[in-house]
Amino acid sequence: MDGELLSETFVELTDTMVAGFDVIDFLHVLTDRSVQLLDVSAAGLLLADPRGELRVVAASSEAARLLELFQLQNHQGPCLDCFRSGRPVQAADLAAAADRWPRFAPAARRAGFAAVQALPMRLREQVIGALNLFRAGPGALAPADIRVGQALADVATISLLHERGMRHSDTLNEQLQAALNSRVIIEQAKGKLAERLGVDMDQAFSLLRGRARTSNRRLSDLAQAFVDGSEALTGPAAGGSGQRRADDGQLRQPPRPGPRTRS
C-alpha cells in the first residue's frame, strides 16, 4: 500500500471546512482513492436520502455505478445488506453467492467482478450509507485492506457529519440534496456530451472530470454551464460538434492528489 498516498487521502477526507466544499467531489475522492489504495478494481457509494431511499452518489467507474443502481432497482445486494445492518458484508466468490443475491450476483459477474466487500458509512447509531468495493478476481479482501477501507469510510462519514457551525443534520441534508441534484446535472451533461461527441457515458464522464480539473472548476458547475449552453466543452482542441476525439484522453487515469479543484 502506498503510505504517502494513504496519508494524503486522510488529509483530503478531513478537509471539508473550505469554502466551496463539494460533497460529490469529496465522495469521488473516497471511491477513487479506495481503488488506488486497496486491492480492488472498482468502488461505488450509496447514501441515504431523507425521501427514504438510497441513492448512488459516487462510483470509480460506470460499471460500478451501474451495479450500485442495479442493487437499488432490484432491492438486493451487499451494499443494501450492509446499509440495513450497519455492518460490513462480504462475498469472496460471487459465483457461489447466487442463493444470497439471485439477481445481483450474476449481474456483478457479467460486469466483470468476482468478489465484493461492502463497508458501512456509520457514526455511532447513524448509518448514512455504504461503500461497495468490487474485485475482478475471486478471494476475500485482505484484513488489512478491510481495516483501511473502513477507516477511509469512517473518516469520510465523520467529516460529512461534522458540526459546521449550524445544526449538523440540517446542514448535511442541505448538502446531500444539493449533491444529489448535482449528480443529476452531471448525468444530464454526460448524456449531452456523449450524444454530441458520439462517445459512451464513461468517456463523457472522464472528459467532464478532466475538463473540470484542468480548468480548476467544480464538476457540477462545469456540467451546469455545459447543459445550459453557456459553455461548449468541445473547445478548439476537439473542434466541436461531431468530433469523436476526446481532448483529454489521459484523464481516464485519476491523477494523484494535488490541489483540489475548488473555486
Partner 1 sequence: MTGSRPGRIWGLVARQAASHRGPVSAGDACAAAVAAVEVTGAWLSAARGAEADHLMRATDEVSEQLAELQLTLGEGPGRDASTFGGPVLASDLGEVDAVRRWPVFAPAALQAGAAAIFAFPLQVGAIRAGVMGLYREQSGSLSAFQLGDALIFADTATLLLLDAQRQAAGEVVGGSGPGGQPADLALHRAEIDQATGMLTEQLGVGIAEAFIRLRAYAYAHDRGLSGLARDIVARRLRLSPDPDLCQDG
Q: Rule CB under 8 A: which residues touch partner 1? A: 49-53, 55-56, 65, 69, 72-73, 165-167, 169-170, 173-179, 181-182, 184-185, 187-196, 201, 220, 223-224, 227-229
Q: How far is the CB of 207 from partner 1 (least distance, A)?
A: 13
Q: How far is the CB of 173 from partner 1 (least distance, A)?
A: 6
User: Is the Cβ of residue 167 or residue 256 nearer to partner 1 in the bound state?
Assistant: 167
d(CA 218, CA 241): 23
User: Is the Cβ of residue 50 or residue 255 nearer to partner 1 in the bound state?
Assistant: 50
Query: The C-alpha cell of 62 is what?
Result: 460506470
User: Is the Cβ of residue 52 or residue 258 nearer to partner 1 in the bound state?
Assistant: 52
Q: What is the DSSP string of 73-137?
A: HHT-SHHHHHHHHTS-EEES-GGG-TTT-TTHHHHHHHTT--EEEEEEEEETTEEEEEEEEEESS
For 5, 7, 27, 176, 222, the CA distances from 257, given in Å and listed in that order, are 8, 11, 14, 24, 20
d(CA 115, CA 126): 27
User: Is the Cβ of residue 173 or residue 215 nearer to partner 1 in the bound state?
Assistant: 173
Q: CA Rg, the chain, in Å?
A: 18
Residue 131: name the closest of 112, 95, 155 by CA. 155
E strand spans, 30-87:
42-49, 53-59
User: Is the Cβ of residue 115 or residue 179 nearer to partner 1 in the bound state?
Assistant: 179
User: Is the Cβ of residue 190 or residue 213 nearer to partner 1 in the bound state?
Assistant: 190
Q: How far is the CB of 92 from partner 1 (least distance, A)?
A: 29
Q: How far is the CB of 170 from partner 1 (least distance, A)?
A: 4
Q: How far is the CB of 120 from partner 1 (least distance, A)?
A: 18
Q: How far is the CB of 182 from partner 1 (least distance, A)?
A: 7
Q: How far is the CB of 162 from partner 1 (least distance, A)?
A: 16
Phi/psi of residue 43, nearest 5 degrees: -145, 145
User: Is the Cβ of residue 2 or residue 174 nearer to partner 1 in the bound state?
Assistant: 174
3-state secondary structure (DSSP) of residue 39: coil
Cα dihedral sign, 106-108-113-117: negative
